[in-house]
Chains A and B, each alone.
Chain A
Amino acid sequence: MGLSMSPGRISALLAAGLLILGFLPFIKLGLVVNGLILGSVIALGAIGLTLVYGILKLGNFAHGDYMAFGAYVAFFIVDGVLPRVGIEGAGLGPFTFGFPVLIALPLAALVVALGAIALDALIYRRLRDRAASTAILMMASLGVAIAIRGLVQLIWSGETQHYPRESRQVYHLPMDVRIPPDGLFVAVLAIILVAGVYALLTHTKMGKAMRATSDNPTLALVSGINTKQVVWWTWGIGGALAAVAGVLLAVVQAQLLPIMGWKFLIPLFAAVILGGIGNPYGALIGALVVGVSMELSTQWINPSYKPAVAFAIMIGVLLARPRGIFGDAP
């Protein structure tokens, strides 16, 4: 998981830097800003996905649906619970959403974190105990993804929903850059959470145990790491981050749809693979690269191809550096 600099890595980074510099005159800065906002949302999802992938060897196809479920739990709290105790409102300060969303955010994170841990105990732990193959684990996660989406549709219908919102002015910056205040909120919250995850992974005993398990599960086990707790924390962190990502995605897109999480899977996996599976810092960089590329592509091609752009990046990485930009050369 280290970030040591080999000559090959330095030259790859240099080449990428030159490529970006070469394109700079043709790039709209506003799109880069949008891309960084989108990238922050992808990062929150991708960090959880990559931790689960690295530590539990499970490419979790339900991760996008964990996001969507989190967004809908927050919607339920904002729309169904809080108004009964008199907490309502939209348009908090410069933001389109109101105070209720801020209350719902940590609650949704908690619900999804516990839900993820429960699903592990119900399903994935049994499969792991049986030493099931990666494919079986992923197939089960696909079933979970489908079931969650069915449940969301059943409870909240397949129609578009949204958090109570009031339209707000966007900030105008020089060079035709427009930043919606919501986007700023998303980016700042993402930075705080990523910093929190970083601190947890580097400075706590559990974080070190998680990284050790990701690098070498067998060695971690024989060196006395409590892998059960590692598993819980991994799902807890992954689920909580996914829920926050889902809420933020719903805020940025100004709507909730049951399929929003499934559609987000390709950018998530692209970021994870770009950063190297199991590497949370790589996932962060990967997410920003994918987000910016997706937004920048709209300058030249139809915006609805954005997920296809993420897919193209992923295929490119698999061709050139299958272990990700920070991984060893093939």
Chain B
Amino acid sequence: MDISGVFDYLIGFAIMAMIYAIFTLGLNVHWGFTGLFNIGIAGFFALGAYTAALLTSPPPDPTQFEDFIFGGNLAQLGLFDLGIDLWFFVGVAAAAVVCGIVALVIGTITLRLSDDYLSIATLGIAESVRFFFLNEKWAANGSKGLYRIPKFMGDLVAPESYDYFYVVVVLIVLAILFVAVQRAARSPWGRVLRAIREDEVTTAASGKNVFHFKLQSFVFGAMIMGIGGALFAHHVRFLSPLTFDPLLATFVIWAMLMVGGSGNNLGAILGAFVVWGIWAGTQFLPGIFSDPSFRLLMIGVLIVAIMLLRPGGLLGEWRRIVERRPASATGREPAGPD
């Protein structure tokens, strides 16, 4: 492989790692800040990806597809014909909205109950979403998958340099989301979330509506995951229900957050790069290390080991920094729950 080949590979790697970083940020909002236990990331991943893909794809061609009939001619309507690909943005926004609505429904049902119900329900959502796209061939071509998902900006960018362009797009989205999550986490709102994580009863006793805060956090995180799914759809440009198996769409993301340190946004992004690096890097190793079953085993062992040894993740939260900051001059308490 020559130098430019290596560079192309690294760009592809960076795109996937950054998309995973978006999911890890979303999961950090759920688990890291609020203690919400979402093991159905794959469900939001798939919903976001399919929503964006179906909104932007050309209508299915009856000569190519037998059962697949859904999917509008939306992008061809010329509604937003401003010279740039606004449908991409519509798709990304719609992905976030769809995931937010699903999270709102599931959260409203389960978040009033004890914590564990949410996790079981998210598992159910992930599986149900997969069953839906697997069985309802009219919606997204079933197991044969959706292809012909358009590139962002269509043919305006030369096909061979699409990845170079797209890596910037993903970077911008990741940066925006990072800033948003970071600000949210440091806001009074974020402090309430962490208070809930640490002690729900005390938070409720100090007059916070725990259910509402949890619901907001769940919806917020799910929307971020939806955006990640949408970016994934326009990167890989092929979706099938098999893409969203629990291993690559849920467990790997948990491993990323665990490595990065839950509660730490920068750590979440770092964790995504490290774990994806190990994942992609070990593909080239001989023997057992590139065996998917062995990797599955190792991810499981990693999660258990971190739960046993460092439940806050390897990097941990930045709470120490907060604590070291002297009480502010205005006399307010430094970040309460920490």
Contact = CB atoms under 8 A, between A and B. Distances in A.
Chains A and B come from one and the same complex? yes
Interface string A267-301: 00100010000000000000000000000000000
A192 interface: no
A151 B124 contact: no
B119 interface: yes
Interface string A231-242: 000000000000
A149 B124 contact: no
Which DSSP category, helix, strand, loop or mixed, fits chain A's interface? helix
A127 B307 contact: yes
Contacts, number: 131
B135 interface: yes
A222 B127 CA distance: 43
Interface string B10-43: 0000000000000000000001000101010000
B4 interface: no
A123 B304 contact: yes
B120 A146 contact: no
A305 interface: yes
Interface stretch (A108-116, A177-185, A204-212, A315-323): A315-323
A134 interface: yes
Nearest to A156: B293
A145 B300 contact: yes
Contacts of B112: 322
A318 B297 contact: no
B135 A266 contact: no
B70 interface: no
A308 B128 contact: yes
B297 A150 contact: yes
Contact of B123 (A139, A265, A305): A265
B154 interface: no
Nearest to A305: B131
Contacts of B131: 304-305, 307-308
A80 interface: no
B242 to A, nearest CB: 12
Nearest to B108: A319
Contacts of A158: 293
A253 to B, nearest CB: 17
A295 to B, nearest CB: 16
Nearest to B125: A311
A25 B296 CA distance: 48
Given A59-B119, A142-B39, A318-B113, A153 B307 contact: no
Contacts of A142: 39, 251, 254, 303
Contact of A136 (B121, B128, B311): B311
A319 B135 contact: no
Contacts of A265: 123
Interface string A134-152: 1110111011111111110
B69 interface: no
A158 to B, nearest CB: 7
Contacts of A307: 127-128, 131
Contacts of B113: 318, 322
- Interface range, B side: 35 or more
Given A136-B307, A304-B134, A318-B113, A269 B120 contact: yes
Interface string A168-192: 0000000000000000000000000
A126 B308 CA distance: 8
Highest count of chain B CB atoms <10 Å: which of A126, A140, A302: A140
Given A133-B35, A140-B307, A146 B299 contact: yes
A59 B296 contact: no
A68 to B, nearest CB: 13
A315 B307 contact: no
A314 interface: yes
A61 interface: yes
B114 interface: yes
B89 interface: no
Contacts of B307: 123, 127, 132, 136, 139-140, 143
A262 B299 CA distance: 16
Contacts of A138: 37, 116, 119
Nearest to B105: A315
Contact of A318 (B121, B254, B292): B121
Contact of B109 (A134, A269, A308, A318): A318
A3 interface: no
B75 to A, nearest CB: 30
Interface in B207-261: 246-247, 251, 254
A5 interface: no
Contacts of A24: none
A268 to B, nearest CB: 10
Contact of A150 (B119, B121, B296): B296
B302 interface: yes
Contacts of B294: 150, 154
30 contacts: A133-B35, A133-B115, A134-B114, A135-B115, A139-B307, A142-B303, A143-B301, A143-B304, A146-B251, A147-B300, A147-B304, A150-B293, A150-B295, A151-B297, A153-B292, A153-B293, A154-B294, A158-B293, A262-B246, A265-B123, A269-B120, A304-B134, A304-B135, A305-B131, A308-B124, A311-B125, A318-B109, A318-B121, A319-B109, A322-B117
Given A59-B119, A140-B307, A322-B117, 8 more contacts: A126-B308, A132-B307, A140-B308, A142-B39, A142-B303, A143-B303, A150-B294, A308-B131
Top-8 shortest CB links A-B? A147-B300, A150-B297, A143-B303, A150-B296, A146-B300, A153-B293, A311-B124, A143-B304
